[in-house]
Chains A and B, each alone.
Chain A
Amino acid sequence: MTAFAPKTASGAGRTDRFYLLMIVLPCAFLALLYFLPVLNVLVLSVTEPQPGIQNYQMLAESGALHRILLNTLRVSLSTTALTLLLGYMFSLGINSMAPRTRTVALFVVLASFWISALIRAYAWVAILQPNGLINQLLMGIGLIDTPLILVRNELGVIIGMVHYMLPYAILPIYANMAGIDRSLLRASRALGANRWRTFWWVFFPQSLPGLAGSGILVMIFSLGFYITPAILGGGRVVMIAEYISIQISETLRWGVATMLATVLVMVVVALTIWMSRYLKVGGGLASKGGKS
């Protein structure tokens, strides 16, 4: 027995080192190809075209930048609100489905991950444009005479972004809902609360952590959207990511571009930290919601 002990110990040590190696390699990869370039961006934002914080001063002074930031914020907020609303409704639906139909519904949700943002954006242009599917249908049944402007404006951008973000919202919201104890809903009814009150007093407060997590996730994604607004906005709805791309590849103002990129990263990091704290105390937050 004792003769084997050192062998086993060294064996365990070797296994540990093996697993450590498996972590170290991807970390090195990330550091080299991701964190270093990000750091470079940060450095460029205070050195290009000359050292100083003049790029950041633009943030306070430039009207064009203000418009871009405001666009980004408005589109992201609208997208988040709409996505949460639709995602919550969808999750409610699948939550009350029989297991087999629910599997099918979740498959449909996940299936949209297979199609790239680029193809989806062009598909939406085809559907939403003046002689697209929707307008032809509406004019065909005589509901409208002139085509509705559904694309190459903010509406089109939001439609495309909500469509892209929905699965990301549905999965956390549904996961949270599935964890809510159904016997609580029975208890609520037995104690005298009707269906409506049972939803608002018992179900909704407990679904808030999922809703909050989804909301921050969708917001973080939305702030950095590039392809979808670029195609569906048709150059009229410029969000921060598209603006950065223009500064890099067309106007060659790398200082402004890296400054905006840094600001975006900071905001996203701040939101992520907030989200992680928020999700940890999710139960407490839900209880506040329930007190009304």
Chain B
Amino acid sequence: MKKSLTFNGVGKTYGRTVALRPTDLEIKAGEFLTLLGPSGSGKTTLLMALAGFVQPSSGSILLDGQDITNIPPEARNFGVVFQGYALFPHLTVWENVYFPLRARNLGRAKAREAVDDALALMELKPYADRMPAALSGGQQQRVALARALVFKPELLLLDEPLSALDKSLRKTLQTELKELHRKVGTTFVYVTHDQEEALSMSDRIAILRAGEIQQIASADALYWRPETAFVAGFLGRSNFVPMSGATVDAGAVTALTVLGPIKAQLPRDGVDVPRDACIAVRPERIAVSRQEPAHQNRVQGRVVSLTFFGTHVELDVEARGTLLNVHVPAVQAAQEPGLAEGAEVWLGWDADVSLVLPQETAAA
């Protein structure tokens, strides 16, 4: 039931518009993979190519080594949960869930057990005879999941399934989806533009931008080791300081910036300093103090604004004409007397939290 999927240079163009650049992608059996990106980044095109609704202009898709590029959607045996659920309005909940089994020529009597099991899994038993229009958004979402899972698909594709729901319900269903993934063990491929959804559920996240995958990694790897400025800025926040040049000495980079020389690191071994690069530093990795700190990188600045957020205090500090965003834990900020708007402060951080990243990735 668990199968791995391989994309070999899969691309899609509509006339002159490139929806997806030729992409290589390995989806591991049983994983929860999220395709994350802004609208127009190609994530939906990628998912629809996988489902069989978009015929790739180039490349091939392999399921356990078998080429499925030209197989019609109905023969792929993938479960799909659409944006807005796409429940059949003329069928009851039970009939909606029975639909994929009916398409597989299973009689009502034979299918009853499987349908009832799927409804039980989603806690929908009491609603079996209702019409979809009589259900709440969350319930409709669970019907769509039951319908997509009832035939034990090799892969479950989810296209922004939570986008139509309100925020609190979305949170609950994120937890439920993760739980469901653990229970059924099927490979999940999930498309979203919401980074919080991606971070909270996925084993791995692929970040897309302008039709190409920028980076695929686990949530924390993406957060701490982004490989492009786009990833660093899309997932969480980062301070970007433009570079005018750099010297490299045994892996240690010293970058020339408006803040002076900054000791920094490349995101991983074996990459060169990109031509158009910047330094990225997470706001929570910058320490603030009244005295000069011992960090490898130190700059002096003035607090322009200070906002209290309960767990942390957010500062905008102007240093040599550049505005840096800094998050200080609220407890620590309370112990720092004189930390207020207009105060002169020192900012400090080490080389291992300042990454040298390409500004704009060149077209692959």
Interface residues of A in 164-185 (CB under 8 A from B): 181, 183-184
Q: Which residues of the partner chain B approach A197 to less than 8 Å between Cβ atoms? A: 103
Q: Please tell me if the beta carbons of A283 and B53 are within 8 angstroms of each other in the complex.
A: no
Across the two chains, which residue of chain B brings its CB closest to A289? B90
Main DSSP-derived SS at the B contact region: loop
Quick check: is A147 within 8 A (CB to CB) of the other chain?
Answer: no
Knowing A201-B99, A287-B131 are in contact, say whether A194-B90 is a contact too (CB < 8 A): no
Interface residues of A in 135-188 (CB under 8 A from B): 181, 183-184, 186-188
Q: Which residues of the partner chain B approach A183 to less than 8 Å between Cβ atoms? A: 82-84, 86
Interface size on B, residues (CB 8 A): 31
Knowing A183-B84, A291-B95 are in contact, say whether A191-B51 is a contact too (CB < 8 A): no
Across the two chains, which residue of chain A brings its CB closest to B150? A191
Knowing A206-B90, A283-B89 are in contact, say whether A192-B84 is a contact too (CB < 8 A): no
B72-105 to A contact mask, C-beta < 8 Å, 1/0: 1111011110111011111110010001101110
Quick check: is B346 within 8 A (CB to CB) of the other chain?
Answer: no
Quick check: is B147 within 8 A (CB to CB) of the other chain?
Answer: yes
Q: Please tell me if the beta carbons of B90 and A192 are within 8 angstroms of each other in the complex.
A: no
Q: Please tell me if the beta carbons of A186 and B82 are within 8 angstroms of each other in the complex.
A: yes
Q: Please tell me if the beta carbons of B88 and A202 are within 8 angstroms of each other in the complex.
A: yes
Q: Please tell me if the beta carbons of B99 and A193 are within 8 angstroms of each other in the complex.
A: yes
Q: Which residues of the partner chain B approach A287 to less than 8 Å between Cβ atoms? A: 90-92, 131
Knowing A192-B100, A192-B151 are in contact, say whether A184-B84 is a contact too (CB < 8 A): no
Across the two chains, which residue of chain B brings its CB closest to A202? B88
CA distance A191 to B103 in the complex (A): 7
Q: Which residues of the partner chain A approach B51 to less than 8 Å between Cβ atoms? A: 190
CA distance A188 to B52 in the complex (A): 13
Seen from chain B, the residues whose Cβ lies within 8 Å of a Cβ on chain A are 51-53, 72-75, 77-80, 82-84, 86-92, 95, 99-100, 102-104, 131, 147-148, 151
Can you pick out 19 interface pairs between chain A and chain B where the beta carbons lie within 8 Å of each other? A181-B89, A183-B84, A184-B89, A186-B73, A187-B87, A189-B52, A189-B73, A190-B51, A190-B74, A191-B147, A192-B100, A193-B74, A194-B103, A206-B90, A283-B90, A286-B90, A289-B90, A290-B88, A291-B95
